[in-house]
Structures are given as C-alpha cells and as structure tokens.
Structure 1
Amino acid sequence: MPGSGTDSTKPWAEGGPVVILVEPQLGENIGAAARAMGNFGLSRLRLVNPREAWPNPKSVTFASGADRILEGAQLFPDVRSAIADLKFVAATTARERGMAKPVFGADAIAEQTAVRLAAGEDVGLLFGRERTGLYTEEVSLADVILTLPVNPAFASLNLGMAVAIVGYEWFKRASSGALPFAPPERSPLADKGDLLAFFDHMERELQEAAFFRSPEKQPSTTRNIRNIFHRIGLTRQDLATLHGMVTALVEGREGRARRKAEHTARKER
C-alpha cells in the first residue's frame, strides 16, 4: 500500500540500529512502527513475545508498504535473548526509574549510535508495551536510558510515534540532515540594465494610462514603484514575464478602444 511519498526507483535504506519491540499488544502498532522505520532508514526489527499471533495481517496494512521490514522481523521469547548479541542497548522510557544509569535524548543517542556502528558495535533501541512501557527489570538490562522532552502531564507516546521520533533523529544524523529535494534552480538575476529597461517600459505605459494623476507626486511615486521591484531580486525570467504582462495590458486596452470605436462608427452609419 504505497503512499504518495513512495518511489520504488530509489534505493531502500538499510542498516542502522536494531529496533526491538517488547510484547507489542496490537498488530496495527507493529505495522505503524515498521512504517516509521522505513521512513527513517531503519531496517532491522525484533519482536519480543508479541501478544497476537505472528505474522499479523493488520501489521501489513498499517505498514503501508514497509512489508520487507515485517518479513525480516525476528521473534524472541524475552528481552535477554533479543539483546544477547548486541554491544550497546538504549531503553526508551518516559518515567524516571531511580537507576544510576545515563539518560540521553534521541539526538544524543543517534550520535552515539553512529559512532558505535562505525566501530563495528551493534546497537539496539528497546521500546516497551503500549499500555505499561518497559518493566524496570527490562530497563536495567540496557546501557542507557533514552527519553524525550514531552509534556510531563501527558508523556505516553503511541508506539509507532515513539519509533518515528527516535528514527528521525537517527536518520537526520546518518544523512547529515540532507533534504530529499531542493527548490529548482532560479533563472540568473537580472542585470541592472535589463531592470532599468523594464522600468522605462512600465513607466511609459503608466504615463500613457494616466496613472500619475498628480505631476507633483510623480517622482516620489515612481521611486516607490522602483523600490518594490528592487526588494524582490528579479531574475531575467521574472523581467521577461513582467514585460509580457505590461504589453498584454496595453494591447488589451488598445484592442478594447479599437473595438469600441468600430462599434460607434457602425452605429453612426
């Protein structure tokens, strides 16, 4: 079920830290987490004792095209076995656990993850149950705590949302913050000579159209109009378009006047 941002011609990002979902309760949330992983270049998913049977068709629906992540998901009976081959684990929690354990935000964890992966150390990100989160015993198995600056009065995040936020910080670090596309290249800036030629064209036609009602105010009005265009930073293409607009307005006015004169002449005959 690809969405509007899906492009099958581009390579699929692989690697990154392992995402471990501990006893997820709903297939829909597993799918949403997989979708978030696909968005942000995470490809390795581990499931610890999911409540519903696996594979789960609801997770496929909510993954919205990130099927390969679900197909590659590994099942484990408990947290210990899910993290046994990893060198570094961060446990996500919104609650203070009273442990003498380092606490980091998602951006700092992304930085540490990049360094450790580059050194050949595999990293895991541990996410808890939708209703209760990770148990304190499970948090104690991790090296550090990962938490987010959320409203303390309402700190619980949806599972897929939590994976998305942490995944975003990881991919921003991994991609050096490169955006997926840039604005199209602009036409070169207009030379001052081209700009002055446009001013002459525009002001001549404004004069013909009796725009300058007060001769005394014409110089200051002209300066104000020129300053409007100076502030914009017009390109050559912009000037060509503006010349065309002025010409079209003049020709339209002249055409209307000519048609009116012809109509009047026919009535008088």
Structure 2
Amino acid sequence: MQIERQPVIILVRPQMGENIGAAARAMLNFGLTDMRIVDPRDGWPNPKAVAMASGAAGRVLDTARVYPTLALAMEGIDYAYATTARGRELTKPVFTPATAMAQARAHDGRSAVIFGPERTGLENDDIARANAIVTVPVNPDFPSLNLAQAVLLMGYEFGRDILPPEPAPHLRRSEAEAPADRIEIERLGDHYDDQLTQAGFFFPETKAASMRLNMRNMWSRLTLTKGDVRILHGVLRQLTRR
C-alpha cells in the first residue's frame, strides 16, 4: 500500500548502507516510498543497503533519488521537519512526532522529514532549511535513537490514522483450550455440590441454601476452558477416592 501525499524521507549524509536499508524497511512498514539521500558517505548504489532492505523494501531504494546537497533535495517540498534534539538556538517551532505528523497529514502541499547522519545528527545549516523541529520525548538518561528507529517512529505517527487496522491474528486452539460451555460448567457445579454435601460442607442447615447459591455464582464467574473443567473434575474424584 502506498499513501497519497506521503512525506518525503530525506537522509542527510548517511554513513552506513545497512542503516539506509533499515530505514527503507521502516518506511515501507507504513506505506512510505519516497526516499531522498543527500551525499551518502559510501556512495550510491550501496549493496549493503540493498541486502538490509530485504525483499519488498528494495523498491524504496530502487526509486530513491540522490542529491549532492540538502538544498537541492528540498525540490518540490512545501514544509519540512528537521528531526533533532539540537538547533534550539534557531527560532523555530518544536513539535513531538505525533503533532508534526498530524500536521503533515492535514497539509495540502508536500512535506518532508529530514534525518541527519548517524553519529552527529543534523548540523545547524541543515536545520536552518527546515520549517520546524521534531524532537522525540525520550528518556533523558539515554536519548539516543538509531536512524531506522527514528524513521520508523515518524512513519508510524504519519500512518497511524491512515492505514487500515489489521484484524487480530486468529489463533487455532486445541479442544482443551476452547471455552467451556454453560452445560459443562453446570455439571462441574453439580459434581462439587454433590461431593461437598456428602462431606458435610454445607453446614449449618440454615446457611446451606445461601452457601450453595454462592458456590454456583462462583462457578459462573470463572472463565474456564474445557481442559480446566476436566482437571477440576479429576481433582475432585481423586480427593473423594482417598
């Protein structure tokens, strides 16, 4: 699935092909396919990026465009977000990923999300070319995100209200794991009622009716499987046999 008016993902001076490939996979997870690469350290194309993209995400790399500078890579972009924890000395609005991507979804023009090199992040000259800053609220004692994680986070926030929800996976259960029906619960309650009556549990007689009612209510509240019911019958049989 490809999302219309999706944001462009711009990787500025990425250092490792593996990280470019991992970013491509993160993009395609959320239907994003437009990647632009600025001055990659190891040149382009990069076989390590292709290997990491692994299959379908390779098409993101096939159509990726390479630019010598960020200024040229901003071709056709109306509004750009720079992902960084730096650059606060520049006067720009600062957003969380959720807020920024909500704006990008509502924006009529073409938006872009800019990511910096793995080791140093974006420089102020790069940030100056963006309209706003996106900063992830992370643990201040460990604020580091790798490139693919950052791309994945922004892709998720952009696609969360656009992509169709996936149904919960259907798990095939064994017969023992299937829910016990009401008749099975009733028979279990009867079995315990009979054996507890023989053991003199319902005493004194004036309280026997309310005790039985409470026991029956307890059985109905329990979420039991067919296997659970068999075990509880077996436990009681073994106890009464002894």
Partner of 1:23: 13
Among 58, 75, 94, which residue is 2:66 paired with? Answer: 75
**Maintained 8 Å contact 1:201/1:243:** no
**2:140 matches 1:149:** no
Among 186, 191, 205, which residue is 2:191 paired with? Answer: 205
User: Structure 2 length as normaliser, TM-score?
Assistant: 0.79
The 2-side partners of 1:96 and 1:53 are apart by 27
1:1-269 map, 5 Å: 12-15=1-4, 16-65=6-55, 66-116=57-107, 119=108, 121-175=109-163, 179-182=165-168, 195=182, 200-209=186-195, 213=199, 214-216=201-203, 219=209, 221-232=211-222, 241=226, 245=230
**Maintained 8 Å contact 1:102/1:144:** yes
The 2-side partners of 1:173 and 1:231 are apart by 37
Alpha-carbon deviation of 1:198? 5.5
Alpha-carbon deviation of 1:220? 5.3
The 2-side partners of 1:77 and 1:244 are apart by 69
Alpha-carbon deviation of 1:152? 3.0
Structure 2, unaligned runs of 5 or more: 171-180
**Maintained 8 Å contact 1:97/1:136:** no
Structure 1, unaligned runs of 5 or more: 1-11, 185-193, 258-269
Counterpart of 1:26, as a letter, is M
Counterpart of 1:223, as a letter, is L
**Maintained 8 Å contact 1:198/1:243:** no
**Which deviations, in whole Å up to 9, do the C-alpha atoms of 1:67-124 show, x marking residues without a partner?**
11111111111000000211111111012431111111111111111111xx2x1111
The 1-side partners of 2:148 and 2:62 are apart by 18
User: Structure 1 length as normaliser, TM-score?
Assistant: 0.71
Structure 1 segments of 4+ aligned residues over 4 angstroms from their partners: 197-200, 207-212, 217-221, 241-246
Larger Rg belongs to:
1
CA-atom RMSD, angstroms? 3.2
Alpha-carbon deviation of 1:212? 5.6
The 1-side partners of 2:132 and 2:27 are apart by 21
The 1-side partners of 2:186 and 2:80 are apart by 69
**Maintained 8 Å contact 2:87/2:124:** no
More displaced stretch, 21-30 vs 88-97: 88-97
Residue 207 and residue 91 in structure 1: after superposition, are their counterparts in 2 closer, same or farther (change >3 A)? closer
The 1-side partners of 2:94 and 2:84 are apart by 10
